[in-house]
Amino acid sequence: MWREEAEAQKERADRLAGDLDEIKARLARIEAENARLITLLTSLDPARLAVVRLTDDSTED
């Protein structure tokens, strides 16, 4: 009886370990994407953004 329970717990642990690996991989992709977006945002010229915002605001009416 204890062997069956131990095997069931090992199977659950293996599934959880696989889930954790998948979550870590997703998190790594999200972090890489965030880093790319931060690089893009910090490279933008604020003066050009202001012009774009002014142009966009006038088309919302």
The ranges assigned to domains in the chain are: 2-59
Residue with tokens 């131990």: 6
Report the percent of the chain where pLDDT is more than 90.
56
* Overall pTM surpassing 0.85 (yes/no): no
Two tokens, residue 40 = 């893009």
pLDDT at 4 over 80: yes
| Average pLDDT rounded to a whole number, residues 9-18 | 97
